[in-house]
Structure 1
Amino acid sequence: MTEQSAWSFADDRGQLAAADRRPARVLAYVQAGATLWDYGIRPEGIFGSGHDGAEPDRAKTGTLPLDTVDYRGAGDALDVDTLLRGRPDLVVAVSYGHGQLYGLDPDTAKHLEERVPVVVIDVGQARTLDRVAERFAALARSLGGAPVPDASGELHAARERLRTAARAPGAPRVVALSPAGPEQAYVARPQMWPELRVLAELGIGLVSPTDGAGVNWATVDWAEAAALEPGIVLADIRSNAVPLHGITDPVWGAAGRGARTVPWNPEPLCSPQAHARFLALVADAVEEAAG
């Protein structure tokens, strides 16, 4: 490597990814690829997790130009040859702690790292959303990307708007959940989700399910979900979740009368503009609910 062309980046496992020149063909987990795109880095390919299917999940892809970004697939469809078919010179993956590459079989990940540099960003519950965003921003800069002008200002404005809305009399109770089907829902434990902790820090009244089984989610029936009396429901819109509008349980309907629904992606893009868009949607709903 030469001083003029060498590239390296220390990832969240404490491992150094290095190359003799700055990578230009990035393969990324879909969440990472969509975030990097917001900094001007177009990945040559993306891959999903075991929750995903043969087509990319539009809830996770943000504004990625899917006509020019190759989706490699997900789950059992992913092997080293499939992942490397676009000749990437860098792989960007995410981890939920312990350094394991999310969405990839450990053996596949091992053989992948033998062939190409890999950077892992930790997006797990131990991280704040700001810290995750900082890490993606640092990686994007190292790859030649830059933030959109005024994106940080838009995020600050969105935070302050939501903070003000949360202080208003009559601010609603908020429940985050992922519909599992006509009988059950997974209700998020807010303290386990970095983006939900941001809402709580801004004063939003997030409602926690009762203690019990499940670290990140509590599995409840719709009557139990309704008993939480949400004025706003943050509904998981990923493709593996059942659409909330498809739930016809009458108990839920009665309890949810007047409840506003905000689309929520539990695998959020970590750019300032993407975070600002989500906060603005929550602020819209809080302001409407408060009258």
Structure 2
Amino acid sequence: MSETQAWGFTDDRGARPGAARVPRRVVAYVRAGAALYDLGVTPVAVYGSGHDGDVYDPAKAGVLEAVGVPYLGPGRGLDEAVLRELRPDLVVDVTYDGKSPYALDAAFVERLGVPLVVLSVGGGPDLPGLLDRFAALAAGLRVVGPAAAGAGPAPEAVRSVVVGSEAVGPEIVTPVTVSPAVGPGQGAALAEFEAAEAALREAAARSGLGVLALSGAGPDQVHLARPRAWPELAWLAGLGVRLLDPGPGPGANWLTTGWEHAAGLRPDLVLFDNRDHATPPYALPGGVRLAPWNPETPPSAAAYARFFRDLAEALAP
């Protein structure tokens, strides 16, 4: 960070965007924006991915629509003039490959002359590490105070922004109190996250149900999630949830196959993708329990606490 920059952040591409002052007007990919809202920073607008349409997907919107955060449509179709009118001083996106933003083109943001922060949501950090990165970014954006940052209720202190001896969190003029830890931070939200983990661990131990996570792609095709490829699914397995692996085949995150293959795995509980572009579960054995799953759950302790609680209830006898 140069002497002229009052704010900077090392993102998960290894890029180091900075600004002369702490950004106050954040435009974000909807998943990132929902997480930032949970962490005390309200975006001035959010945009979707190539899967999204011209209106909010209810599964992705969280409370953003209810609190009046505008939705701009898919990121790769953003109108540059409309975005300039919003006067953003930071854009936040996510990445699955650690290289490129998922929902818009980096060159588009460069033309705007606005810093771009991209945070990894797959293929790298475990779930607590993923949550810590979003919490660290929010901490750096809240140093001007919730009102100036356009924030919702001010959350409490954030955990870990230091990994080993290398600082990976926000570089800011005003210091933020942090402490090394594994997991998301935020006082009450962290306590609820940990309580939800405990409830889920107990429910999983009692039920022993086989759980299959999937995304419907029509009456003849389904994408079956590979648990180790998804930070939240891998974390569920660590809590004792018996997740079913779809088996060998192409695809790093999903095995794309027919519904008969899903049925052949004999799941007791199916976590089905409830985003708008996914189709409902089709040919599955009778008696299979169903529970919604948003593969783009906002990366915040509060959002995952809700998901864990709902899954614990679905696993209960």
In structure 2, C-alpha distance between the alignment counterparts of 1:26 and 1:76, rounded to whole Å = 17
Cα deviation for residue 2 of structure 1 reads 11
Cα deviation for residue 109 of structure 1 reads 4.3
Provide structure 1 residue ranges, at least 5 long, that are not aligned to the other structure. none
In structure 2, C-alpha distance between the alignment counterparts of 1:271 and 1:75, rounded to whole Å = 22
Cα deviation for residue 81 of structure 1 reads 3.2
Instruction: Identify if the C-alpha distance between structure 1 residues 59 and 134 changes in structure 2 by more than 3 Å, giving closer, same or farther.
Output: same
Matches within 5 A, 1:149-228: 149-168=187-206, 170-228=207-265
Q: Report the RMSD for the aligned CA atoms in angstroms.
A: 2.1
Aligned length: 277
Instruction: Identify if the C-alpha distance between structure 1 residues 67 and 279 changes in structure 2 by more than 3 Å, giving closer, same or farther.
Output: closer
Question: 1:258: which partner in 2?
Answer: 287
Aligned residues: percent identity? 46
Instruction: Indicate if the aligned counterparts of 1:175 and 1:234 stay in contact, CA closer than 8 A.
Output: yes
Paired residue secondary structure (2:314): helix
Question: 1:30: which partner in 2?
Answer: 30
In structure 1, C-alpha distance between the alignment counterparts of 2:305 and 2:27, rounded to whole Å = 26
Provide structure 2 residue ranges, at least 5 long, that are not aligned to the other structure. 143-153, 157-185
* TM-score (normalised: structure 1): 0.89
Question: 1:116: which partner in 2?
Answer: 114
Cα deviation for residue 218 of structure 1 reads 1.0
Choose 29-38 or 56-65, whichever is displaced more: 56-65
* TM-score (normalised: structure 2): 0.82
Question: 2:314: which partner in 1?
Answer: 285
Cα deviation for residue 5 of structure 1 reads 8.6
Is 1:40 the counterpart of 2:40 in the alignment? yes
CA displacement, residues 191-212 of structure 1 (integer Å, 9 cap, x when unaligned): 1000100110001110011201
Question: 1:7: which partner in 2?
Answer: 7
Matches within 5 A, 1:58-69: 58-66=58-66, 68-69=68-69
Choose 147-156 or 4-13, whichever is displaced more: 4-13
Paired residue secondary structure (1:177): strand
Q: Which amino acid aligns with 1:20?
A: A
The match for 1:241 among 278, 281, 286 is 278
Instruction: Indicate if the aligned counterparts of 1:25 and 1:44 stay in contact, CA closer than 8 A.
Output: yes
Cα deviation for residue 258 of structure 1 reads 2.1
Matches within 5 A, 1:55-134: 55-66=55-66, 68-74=68-74, 76-112=76-112, 115-134=113-132
Paired residue secondary structure (1:225): helix
Q: Which amino acid aligns with 2:78?
A: L
